[in-house]
Chains A and B, each alone.
Chain A
Amino acid sequence: MDAMAAIKQTFFQECEEQLGELEIGLLVLQDGDTDPETVNAVFRAVHSIKGGAGAFNLDELVHFAHVFENVLDHLRAGRLAASGDVLKTMLRAADMLADLVRAARDGTAADTGRRDTLAAELRALDPEAAGKDLDSGHQDSHGDDLDGPVFEAVPISFDDMEIESTPDEHQFIIHFTPKPDLYAKANETALLMRELCSLGEAVITCDFSRLPVLEELDPEGSYLSWSIELRTVQDENAVRAVFEFVEWDCELDVAQVGAAQGLDDMALEALIEKMQATVEAELAAPEVPPNDVQASMDEPLAAQAGSAGQALGNPPGGKPDAGKSSQATIRVDLDRVDRLINLVGELVINQAMLTQRMLEAGLARASGVATGLDELEQLTREIQDSVMAIRAQPVKSVFQRMPRLVREVAVMTGKSVRLTTAGENTEVDKTVIERLADPLTHMIRNAIDHGLETPELRAAAGKPEEGLVHLSALHRSGRIVIEVADDGAGIDRPRVKAIAAEKGLIAAEAPLSDEEIDNLIFLPGFSTASTVSDISGRGVGMDVVRRSIQALGGRISIRSKPRQGSTFTMSLPLTLAVLDGMVVTVAGETLVVPLTAIIETLQPKADAVHGFGGNSRVIAIRDQFIPLIDVGHELDYRSGFADPCKSVALLVESEGHVRSALLVDAILGQRQVVIKSLETNYQHVPGIAAATILGDGRVALILDVDAVVAGSRVAATGFEQLCAAG
Chain B
Amino acid sequence: MSKIVLTVDDSRTMREMLMLALSNAGYRVVQAEDGMHGLEVLKDARPDVIITDINMPRMDGFGFIEGVRGDDLHRAVPILVLTTESDAMKKDRARRAGATGWIVKPFDPIKLVEAIRRVAA
The chain A residues found within 8 Å of chain B, CB to CB, are: 3-4, 6-7, 10-11, 13-14, 37, 40-41, 43-44, 47-48, 50-52, 54-55, 141, 143-149, 151, 184-188, 190-192, 194-195, 244-245, 248, 306-308, 310-313, 315, 319-328
Q: Once the chains are docked, how many angstroms separate the CA of A270 from the CA of B79?
A: 43
25 A-B pairs in the complex with CB atoms less than 8 angstroms apart:
A3-B20, A6-B16, A7-B20, A10-B13, A41-B57, A44-B55, A51-B13, A55-B14, A144-B85, A144-B104, A148-B103, A185-B98, A186-B75, A186-B100, A187-B78, A187-B100, A187-B119, A188-B120, A191-B117, A245-B118, A315-B121, A322-B6, A323-B4, A325-B31, A326-B44
Give the shortest distance, in Å, between B65 (CB) and chain A (any CB): 9
Chain A residues whose CB sits within 8 angstroms of the CB of B102 once the complex forms: 245
A48 touches B10 (CB 8 A): yes
Contact partners of A10 in chain B: CB under 8 A? 12-13, 16
CB distance from B47 to the nearest CB of A (A): 6
18 other contacts beyond A41-B57, A149-B114, A186-B98, with CB at 8 A cut-off?
A3-B20, A44-B55, A48-B14, A51-B14, A55-B13, A55-B17, A186-B79, A186-B100, A187-B100, A188-B119, A190-B121, A191-B118, A248-B95, A306-B75, A322-B28, A324-B44, A325-B45, A326-B40
How many Å lie between the Cα of A43 and that of B100 in the bound state?
26
Contact status B100-A310, CB under 8 Å:
no
How far apart are the CA atoms of A10 and B11 in the complex, in Å? 10
Do the beta carbons of A191 and B121 come within 8 Å of each other? yes
Chain B residue numbers with a CB within 8 Å of A190 are 121
**Known contacts A144-B104, A322-B44; A7/B84 CB under 8 A:** no
B111 part of interface (Cβ distance < 8 Å): yes
Which residues of the partner chain B approach A188 to less than 8 Å between Cβ atoms?
A: 78, 119-121
List chain B residues, Cβ under 8 A from A326. 32, 37, 40-41, 44
Contact A186 B105 (CB under 8 A): no
A7 proximity list for chain B (CB < 8 A): 13, 16-17, 20
Contacts of B107 in A (CB 8 A): 55, 148
Do B13 and A313 touch (CB < 8 A)?
A: no
Bound-state CA distance A406–B26 (Å) is 50
A52 touches B13 (CB 8 A): yes
* Residues of B participating in the A interface, judged by any CB pair closer than 8 Å: 1, 4, 6, 10-14, 16-17, 20, 28, 30-33, 37, 40-41, 44-47, 55-57, 69, 75-79, 84-86, 95, 98-108, 111, 114-115, 117-121
A187 to chain B, nearest CB (A): 5
**What is the chain A residue whose CB lies nearest that of B112?**
A149
Q: Are B79 and A44 in contact (CB under 8 A)?
A: no
B-side contacts of A40, CB under 8 Å: 55, 57
Min CB gap A323→B, angstroms = 7
**Chain B residues with CB below 8 A from A47, complex form:** 55, 84
Query: How far apart are B81's CB and chain A's nearest CB, in angstroms?
Result: 10
Specify which chain B residues have a CB less than 8 angstroms from the CB of A191 in the assembled complex. Answer: 117-121
**Contacting pair A145 B104 (CB below 8 A):** yes
Contact among B4, B45, B86, B115 for A143, CB-based, below 8 A: B86
User: Judging by beta carbons under 8 Å apart, are A51 and B106 in contact?
Assistant: yes
A446 shortest CB reach to chain B, Å: 36
| B104 and A48 form a contact (CB under 8 A) | no
The answer for the CA separation of A195 and B85 in the assembled complex, in Å, is 25
CA of A320 to CA of B33, assembled, Å: 22
Question: Are B118 and A195 in contact, with the CB atoms below 8 A?
Answer: yes
CA distance in complex: A320, B104 (Å)? 31
Report yes or no: A325 in contact with B30, Cβ–Cβ below 8 A: yes
B85 to chain A, nearest CB (A): 7
Cβ-defined contact, A43 with B55, below 8 A:
yes
Minimum CB–CB distance from B30 to chain A (whole Å) comes to 5
